[in-house]
Structure 1
Amino acid sequence: MDWNRYLNKEIECSCGRKHRCDIKNVAIGVAAIASLTAYIKEKGYQHVAVVVDKNTEKAAGETVYGVLEKGGIFFDKIRLEAAEIIPDEITLGNLIADIAAETDLIIAVGSGTINDSCRFISHKMKIDYFIVGTAPSMDGYASDVTPMLIHNLKTTYEKMGHAKAILGDVDVLSKAPMCMITAGVGDVFGKYICLTEWKLSHLITGEYYCEFVDGIMQDALKALETSIDGIPSRNKKAMGAIMEGLVLAGVGMSYVGNSRPASGSEHHLAHYWEMMFLQSGQEDPLHGTKVGVGTVIALLLYQYAKKILASGKAFPQPSFDEKIWIKSIKKAYGISAPGVLSLEENVHKNSDVAVAKRLAVLQQHREDFIKLADALPTPEKIIAAMKKIQAPYLPKEIGVTPELLKNSIVYAKELRNRYGILQLLFDMGELENAADCVCKQIEQYR
């Protein structure tokens, strides 16, 4: 891929904005890690910190050490020792404590959590960072958006800066645990939902939308679709193509300055499940794995909403009971409830006035919604693809109980002020009914 088309230049767009993504180097291919020395010497970095965990050290960290030693580059090794690395205050605190004051470059060796944590630290400490990917497992490599778990609430930080270099060595990527490779597939499949919701929100709320960025995200989807047959055999060409698609998706997010092109209701469901798993001490599946399952659920919700809107059924008068809602949120979110309550207090997305305004616009766009829903793949198509690569596609496969599934459909939208299928169904007074319906439907899949 010619990354010069996308990086380190200003793009005048028909959407009225200027897009830019400043990532100096992207190397995806055979022996990509060998490029490290040249990149470091080009910028004149003097004191490097290499961040790994016990798994990523074996996967690529030792290779990184060897390349740096051979190149005569001084570096500190920082190994995160927790059994499960969580992108929270503890991980950030450990990094701040271990990174030397004179450090001028962080090399993150890993994927989701290590990349996000090092990006956060890079931004806060004003230190450049590189990412050496160890798995094609998520779309955040090129993003400037950082999801963290802060005060027990999944929180997305925007405009956090980019890695100065992204390295994806296909020899490393092809040896990643298969669950991490299929997680990357799940993360990309989520783009079907979030791109639809971006268009939908543009219609209903007037939210900014960019056709050019949408096209970039569609290219990321195509990169996956053309490579999926090579996943079971760990084909290196397929691994490289998937990694390119994931990086391209991150570039799209960077152009917009937030995660809207890459995160919708499927991500809200995944984030809610993650928070509940962590609260209960339950094992938390990989982010992309949850997103893949969330995509199947979201597709079923779109089918439900399409039937209601196609029937011509009148919308009910909004009647938001804040006291009952607050009680429900405290029960559904537990220790994470304060952040959710604070968001609603600030934006009033559920107020009768806000709901009535959106419903009035939705009434004018019933046919447009139906067209958007018809353009989505069927749940069966996504399930067939997930089966092909032996990836989870049912909630129960990742530890999501029927009760947790229903709660997530009803309450996950409260995590963000972002319009999508969950808010639409809430506005229509159909969210609880849709949750019951989808919980029954999903039990029929095998």
Structure 2
Amino acid sequence: MSDQAKRRFGGKRDMSNERIQSALAGATDTRAVVIEEGALARVADVFRENFPESRAVVVADGTEYRVAGEEVQRVLEQGGIGTEEPYVFPAEPTLYAKYSNIELLVGSLEGHDAVPVAVGSGTLNDIAKRAAYETDRPYMNVATAASMDGYTAFGASIEKDGHKQTLTCPAPRAVLADVSVLVAAPKDMTAAGYADLLGKVTSGADWLVADALGVEPIDKEGWRLVQDGLRGWVADPEALAAGESEAMDGLIEGLVMSGLAMQAYQSSRTASGAEHQFSHLWEGEGLGRDRNPPLSHGFKVGVGSVAVAALYERLLARDLARLDVEAAVSAWPSWPEVEERVRALHTLPELERAAVEQSRAKYVGADALRERLELLREVWPELSGKLRSHLLPAEELRRMLRAAGCPVTPEEIGLSRDELQKTYRRALTIRSRYTVLDLANETGILDECVAELFEPGGFWAR
């Protein structure tokens, strides 16, 4: 890197630090975030500042312990931090976020009062996060890959009782990310993080819709933390795939800011929309669970983002200011009819029960639907303009994801086109959050819009 490039990069890092410090002011759990080259050398100082007079226990799997855990342990010891024997999960088979692994770690943590220092990425972070919560202590995370936005988010995505679910637990008190470690991470992990971050494009559009229809007003701070920097963070997937530090610095900042926004708003609405409902459905059904390593959350989000952006294009091709409200209300099913349809869409009992519960929570009767659709007619000229300005074309999202090294077709993640087509309606049912799926469903055009995507000449037929 030239001196001029170093100065430019340094200036961007200063601005990034300012943004993160501003975001930390509204965070409920996280007090410190350090992102820089050589950050591992600071782990003892960061630990001491945030966990004064506490002992530390490094938690990692065999691979991550070799990558960074040994160095973290060495720096802690040399920095005068008292430590317990590291808890290291086996390197093989690939560590999976299942509850039995939390139970193993909890059993070890109950033998002392040390603060866990999780050295790893998404799975390890989720396991340590929940285990720390169950043993009533805070924890710290040392990121080894820019693979998802969960580092600074509350909650852990864990397989329990036969299906993936989000378990309650606070975010880490401190997060440290050494950019040189992130750059050396497997490329598919970086690509997964890029896909997770790029999904904020469609999730932002969903919030615009929910805001315009009076379902969930936009929180200015929650929106700012994610959306203001988003286009810059995802602007250069080619540089990210090439392993350039500046691009990696932007990616990890975006992922960290996304988690901090969830803390500030106390909801994942700031960073999750219909694209995540696609991913959550597939995760609940175990899609890619048999791969080694398992199919990442980010890769599923990436395909979901393309699918949702394509649906938006079909929706925006229609003038909903001229919607026949009475026809839509007349065709609107009763709750018992909806429940029957929801149950028919799912074969796994846990998913079926959850889908019924979530669908019931957002169901509205005919009078409330009429009022919402009349409002839609009024706001559509302005809303459609905002959506066109905010969204990226589905084809452009597909190009960006491909450039970053992400899968972009259903076949690449183990789905047929028919299964993807059915996912649009199935994903609608699994969350009460209002998204483009609900808008298309309530206006009575979901099925025809989706059909257009798969017919000859449609997006998914190209």
Per the normalisation by structure 2, the TM-score is: 0.86
CA distance in structure 2 between the partners assigned to 1:177 and 1:270 by the alignment: 22
1:21 Cα deviation from its structure 2 partner? 4.4
Look up the match of 1:141: 151
Paired residue type of 2:304? G
Paired residue type of 1:443? W
Q: 1:443 aligned to 2:452?
A: no
CA distance in structure 2 between the partners assigned to 1:240 and 1:115 by the alignment: 20
Look up the match of 2:333: 319
Report if aligned partners of 2:20, 2:33 keep a CA contact under 8 Å in 1. Answer: no
CA distance in structure 2 between the partners assigned to 1:205 and 1:153 by the alignment: 33
CA distance in structure 1 between the partners assigned to 2:288 and 2:371 by the alignment: 36
1:251 Cα deviation from its structure 2 partner? 1.4
Question: Secondary structure of the residue that 2:105 maps to in structure 1?
Answer: helix
Unpaired runs of 5+ in structure 2? Answer: 1-13
Look up the match of 2:181: 172
Q: For residues 242-253 of structure 1, what are the structure 2 equivalents within 5 Å?
A: 242-253=251-262
1:433 Cα deviation from its structure 2 partner? 2.4
Counterpart among 352, 371, 377 of residue 363 in structure 1: 377
CA distance in structure 2 between the partners assigned to 1:125 and 1:208 by the alignment: 36
1:145 Cα deviation from its structure 2 partner? 4.0
Q: For residues 327-342 of structure 1, what are the structure 2 equivalents within 5 Å?
A: 328-335=342-349, 336-342=351-357
Paired residue type of 2:32? N
Deviates more, 1:36-45 or 1:198-207: 36-45
Look up the match of 2:116: 106
Report if aligned partners of 2:203, 2:272 keep a CA contact under 8 Å in 1. Answer: yes
Counterpart among 42, 55, 65 of residue 63 in structure 2: 55
Q: For residues 381-420 of structure 1, what are the structure 2 equivalents within 5 Å?
A: 381-420=396-435
CA distance in structure 2 between the partners assigned to 1:407 and 1:38 by the alignment: 51
Paired residue type of 1:385? M
CA distance in structure 2 between the partners assigned to 1:333 and 1:134 by the alignment: 37
1:387 Cα deviation from its structure 2 partner? 2.7
Look up the match of 1:31: 38
CA distance in structure 1 between the partners assigned to 2:52 and 2:139 by the alignment: 13
Look up the match of 1:14: none
Q: 1:307 aligned to 2:317?
A: yes
Q: For residues 52-86 of structure 1, what are the alpha-carbon distances to aligned partners after superposition, in whole Å with 9 as ceiling and x for unaligned?
A: 12332232222222223333432232223472433
Q: 1:231 aligned to 2:231?
A: no
Look up the match of 1:130: 140
Report if aligned partners of 1:300, 1:438 keep a CA contact under 8 Å in 2. Answer: yes
Structure-2 change in CA distance of 1:141 and 1:220 (3 Å): farther
Unpaired runs of 5+ in structure 1? Answer: 12-18
CA distance in structure 2 between the partners assigned to 1:355 and 1:67 by the alignment: 60
CA distance in structure 2 between the partners assigned to 1:247 and 1:114 by the alignment: 16
Identity fraction in percent: 25
CA distance in structure 2 between the partners assigned to 1:54 and 1:233 by the alignment: 27
1:227 Cα deviation from its structure 2 partner? 4.5
CA distance in structure 2 between the partners assigned to 1:168 and 1:6 by the alignment: 13
Paired residue type of 1:79? V
Question: Secondary structure of the residue that 2:348 maps to in structure 1?
Answer: helix
Question: Secondary structure of the residue that 2:145 maps to in structure 1?
Answer: coil
Q: For residues 241-299 of structure 1, what are the alpha-carbon distances to aligned partners after superposition, in whole Å with 9 as ceiling and x for unaligned?
A: 21112111211111111110100001001111122235985674211111111111001
Structure-2 change in CA distance of 1:354 and 1:57 (3 Å): farther
Look up the match of 1:15: none
Structure-2 change in CA distance of 1:84 and 1:349 (3 Å): farther
Paired residue type of 1:277? G
CA distance in structure 2 between the partners assigned to 1:190 and 1:214 by the alignment: 14
CA distance in structure 2 between the partners assigned to 1:30 and 1:161 by the alignment: 27
Report if aligned partners of 1:296, 1:383 keep a CA contact under 8 Å in 2. Answer: yes
Report if aligned partners of 2:362, 2:432 keep a CA contact under 8 Å in 1. Answer: no
CA distance in structure 2 between the partners assigned to 1:108 and 1:204 by the alignment: 42
Look up the match of 1:343: 358
**Count of residues in correspondence between the two structures:** 436
1:442 Cα deviation from its structure 2 partner? 4.0
Look up the match of 1:74: 83
Report if aligned partners of 1:269, 1:408 keep a CA contact under 8 Å in 2. Answer: yes
Per the normalisation by structure 1, the TM-score is: 0.88
CA distance in structure 2 between the partners assigned to 1:115 and 1:267 by the alignment: 19
Counterpart among 219, 222, 225 of residue 213 in structure 1: 222
Question: Secondary structure of the residue that 1:422 maps to in structure 2?
Answer: helix
Structure-2 change in CA distance of 1:118 and 1:357 (3 Å): farther
Look up the match of 1:185: 194
Report if aligned partners of 1:8, 1:22 keep a CA contact under 8 Å in 2. Answer: no
Report if aligned partners of 2:145, 2:189 keep a CA contact under 8 Å in 1. Answer: yes
Structure-2 change in CA distance of 1:392 and 1:68 (3 Å): same
CA distance in structure 2 between the partners assigned to 1:357 and 1:156 by the alignment: 34
Look up the match of 1:240: 249
1:10 Cα deviation from its structure 2 partner? 8.7
Report if aligned partners of 2:121, 2:144 keep a CA contact under 8 Å in 1. Answer: yes
CA distance in structure 1 between the partners assigned to 2:425 and 2:413 by the alignment: 19
Report if aligned partners of 2:84, 2:114 keep a CA contact under 8 Å in 1. Answer: no
Structure-2 change in CA distance of 1:9 and 1:394 (3 Å): closer
Q: For residues 389-446 of structure 1, what are the alpha-carbon distances to aligned partners after superposition, in whole Å with 9 as ceiling and x for unaligned?
A: 232112221112223212221011222110011111111222222333223434334x
